[in-house]
Amino acid sequence: MQNLLETVIEELEAVVKDTGNAFWNIPPATAALLQWLIKVHKPSRVLEIGTSNGYSALRMAQVLSHSGGVLYTVESHAERFATAEKNFARAGVEGLVHQVKGHAPEILSSLEGVFDMVFLDATKMEYQSYVDFLYPKLSIGAIVVADNCVSHGDDLYMQKFLQFMKETPLFSSVLLSFDNGVLLAHKS
Ligand SMILES: C[S@@+](CC[C@H](N)C(=O)[O-])C[C@H]1O[C@@H](n2cnc3c(N)ncnc32)[C@H](O)[C@@H]1O
């Protein structure tokens, strides 16, 4: 599986260069951070909101294939959902990556069980609603990772979200100012 997975990842990284990142994939260093978090935290169940063509999911799958965890990934756009489906099939990650089609947060109620790690990378102005909805579905000590917190830092909705995450006793969080700006939060 690993060779297929790596081949597809390399192809998607070439697509970023060819298209000017038409699928809005996370940069490789952010992917490496997600992988490191999975290695250290060893989540059994990871949730991603915002699959696009599946690049970040495949980068997480690279590590989950060793740690024994699984990934659920949510996408509302039919074409990108189908593109990711093909990429997951080519990479051989069936059983490891589970696609969920629909619009978050509404679709999240169809997901059973709790999550130990969540990666937010969909509509930035919806981050607060994702966290509000997901909070009861997060295990104690769960990690929430949110991308684009600096690139969208001038927007009022992002400022409000960051302020909430800084002040709430529900999470302890830190904002990392690299790539597009990544918020890391830990459910207290
Ligand atoms: C930035 S891209 C995700 C990139 C992907 N995480 C990666 O790095 O490879 C955001 C994706 O989220 C999807 N999206 C936006 N809002 C959504 C929502 N409310 N529910 C589900 N998907 C959503 C968009 O269609 C888009 O494909």
Q: Is the pTM of this model over 0.95?
A: yes
CB atoms within 10 A of CB 81: 20
Coil, strand or helix at 117:
strand
Give the tens place of pLDDT for each residue, 10-53. 999 999 999 999 999 999 999 999 999 999 999 999 999 999 99
Distance 74 CA to ligand 1 centre (A): 8
Give the Cα separation of 98 and 57 in Å (integer). Answer: 10
Residue among 118, 119, 117, 48 at smallest CA distance from 88:
48
Cis preceding linkage at 105, omega within 30: yes
Q: What does the mean pLDDT of the chain come to?
A: 96
Residues 6+ apart with CB under 8 A from 188: 140, 169, 170, 171, 172
Provide the pLDDT for residue 58.
Answer: 98
Between vectors from CA 183 to CA 179 and to CA 188, what angle results, nearest 5°? 160
Provide the pLDDT for residue 109.
Answer: 87
Give the Cα separation of 85 and 166 in Å (integer). Answer: 36
Distance 73 CA to ligand 1 centre (A): 10
Give the Cα separation of 144 and 115 in Å (integer). Answer: 10
Q: Which atom of ligand 1 is nearest to the CA of 25?
A: 8
Q: Which residues line ligand 1 (CB under 6 A)?
A: 24-26, 49-50, 52, 55-56, 74-77, 80, 103-104, 121-123, 126
Give the Cα separation of 63 and 1 in Å (integer). Answer: 12
Q: How confident is the model at residue 1 (pLDDT cuts 50, 70, 90)?
A: low
- The mean per-residue pLDDT over the stretch 70-93 comes to 98
Q: Which atom of ligand 1 is nearest to the CA of 55?
A: 9
Give the Cα separation of 68 and 87 in Å (integer). Answer: 21
What CATH number does the domain containing 176 carry? Answer: 3.40.50.150
Angle of helix 55-67 relative to helix 78-91, nearest 10 degrees, comes to: 40
Instruction: Provide φ and ψ at 48, rounded to 5°.
Output: -115, 135
CB atoms within 10 A of CB 62: 20
106: domain range? 2-187
Provide the pLDDT for residue 88.
Answer: 98
Instruction: Provide φ and ψ at 82, rounded to 5°.
Output: -65, -40
Does the structure show a pLDDT above 90 at 76? yes
Give the tens place of pLDDT for each residue, 145-162. 999 999 999 999 999 999
Based on the structure, what is the number of domains in the chain? 1
Does the structure show a pLDDT above 90 at 2? no
Distance 15 CA to ligand 1 centre (A): 17
Q: How confident is the model at residue 112 (pLDDT cuts 50, 70, 90)?
A: very high
Does the structure show a pLDDT above 90 at 141? yes
Residue among 122, 163, 172, 166 at smallest CA distance from 143:
172
Asked if residue 172 lies in contact with residue 188, where contact means CB atoms within 8 angstroms, the answer is yes
Give the Cα separation of 30 and 111 in Å (integer). Answer: 26
Distance 122 CA to ligand 1 centre (A): 4
